[in-house]
Amino acid sequence: MLITGALVTPVAGNLGDRHGGKRVMLRLMAVVSAGGLISALAPNLPVLLLGQVLEGAMVGAMPLSFILVRKHLPAGESQVAIGVVSGLFVGGGMLGTLMAGPIAEQLSRHWMFAIPTLAIVVATLFVHRVMPDDPPARSDAKIDWPGLALLSGILLTLMSGLAMAPEAGSRPLAIGALIVLLAVLVAGWISVERRSPSPMVDLHLLAKPGMWSSYVITFAVCMGTAVSMYLVPQLFAASGDGYGFGAGSTDIGRYLLPGTVAGAISGPLGGLAARRFGPTAVVGAGIGVMAATLLVMAFVHTEVWHLVVGKALVALASGVCITAMVVRTAASVDHTDTGTATGLVLVTRVIGFAAGVQVSGAVLTAGTRPGTADPAGSAFVTGFVIAGAVTALSMLLVPAMRKGVKK
């Protein structure tokens, strides 16, 4: 699902820009519904995985939602609406996580997929009947198939490289080959996009400091967030000498709930703050709070409430920051580029999370002594410090967000 979401999101955003957000949204939701149906009826794991691949396309609904929001709402309201959409995605994920276990236990795993699929079908009909139509902006533009194929190859290679990163020491040739392949694909994609009359991504737009800095900041913030998401549950579960709490899965879920709620409300809060104070100021404040919290967590984590509060603050600051980043990116481009620009933010977010998880795993693995079950306490300190440092360094790019973008 993660890989499918990374592949589909920029494509869905680009097609929405050209052919209309509602039109592409309905087709995307039909694909997701088909994936849910396949998952619900799957007799074995391979068929279930096929259904999950199709369901992963749902991430592409986010840039399409942003397109529709910008087309149908005034600028001030659209900033808040973008935050609401982001918050609903997080809240929906939280609700699905809470519902999955009881449904599977009381009914079956088949209903665990069937019930959400029925909800998606109803939502699709609702969008078809209620959502106003948005006229295509560039309906005559041809799809940049070479650019699409190369971008998909870049994302697949990058995600594969991140997945293999923990084994880099034992598989140097495979990692080296992936790096070379990634470089070739990037060079080919840039060459194709420069010559295409209707490119998937406008490279001139990406070259502006206000755009590329946004993507780099998004990567750093999401990487720092992912490190905390990975380390905090591990620290709750650990039972080392002088650190850890030996908590079970039920207790860990309870400890993490405030952070999940904070992440859900961060979207609307980020939209409101962006409208009131401006997206750039909100991004800077979010980075500051998040970096400070991560660094404090590195050295203050002797009580459960230290981690509960820290995790909630990181989730809130990260969500506010990313929402403001999406608002800034959407407002910095023409309406005809909304889906493409915001889709790339979301793809960068996925890559940042994947990188953060791999870094966390590598740090804990390196800090685990042979013959022991838990990493050393210093490994957790190192992980939090790395996350805080990467997040803090992204503050240096905040001033660049103001440069070279549409006012």
pLDDT single digits (tens) 118-151: 999 999 999 999 988 887 766 566 777 888 788 8
> pLDDT tens digits for 334-382?
777 788 788 888 888 888 888 898 888 888 888 887 777 778 888 999 9
Within 10 angstroms of residue 366's Cβ, the number of other Cβ atoms is 12
The class (CATH top level) of 2-131+200-402 is mainly alpha
DSSP 53-118: HHHGGGGGHHHHHHHHHHHHS-HHHHHHHHHHHHHHHHHHHHHHHHHHHHHHHHT-HHHHHHHHHH
Confidence of residue 168 (pLDDT cuts 50, 70, 90): low
CA distances from 321 to 21, 221, 309, 318 (A): 25, 8, 18, 5
pLDDT computed for residue 141 by the predictor:
61
Confidence of residue 407 (pLDDT cuts 50, 70, 90): very low
Mean pLDDT value of segment 315-320: 92
Mean pLDDT along residues 265-289: 89
In whole angstroms, give the CA distance from residue 169 to residue 177. Answer: 14
Confidence check: pLDDT of 284 > 90 = yes
Task: Say what the pLDDT of residue 102 is.
Answer: 81
The answer to whether residue 84 scores a pLDDT higher than 80 is yes
- Quick check: 17 and 138 in contact, CB under 8 A? yes
What is the per-residue pLDDT for 41? 93
Share above pLDDT 90 across residues of the chain, in percent, rounded to a whole number: 30
This prediction has a pTM of: 0.82
Q: What percent of the chain has pLDDT over 70?
A: 95
Non-local CB neighbours of 69 within 8 Å, separated by 6+ positions: 78, 81, 82, 85
Residue 8 scores a pLDDT above 90: no
The predicted pLDDT at position 404 comes to 52
Structure tokens at 92: 């929906």
Q: What confidence tens digit (pLDDT) does each residue in 63-80 have? A: 888 888 888 888 778 878
Close Cβ partners of 53 (under 8 Å, ≥ 6 residues apart): 1, 4, 35
Across the chain, mean pLDDT equals 85
Apex 100 CA angle, 94 and 103, nearest 5: 140
For 38, 107, 206, the CA distances from 45, given in Å and listed in that order, are 11, 19, 40
CA atoms within 13 A on the CB side of 341: 29
What tens digit of pLDDT does each residue of 218-232 get? 999 999 999 998 899
With a cut of 50, say whether residue 181 has pLDDT above it.
Answer: yes
Q: Within 13 Å and on the Cβ side, how many CA atoms surround 280?
A: 15
- The most confident of the ranges 126-135, 207-216, 282-291, 333-342 is 282-291
The domain ranges of the chain are 2-131+200-402, 148-199
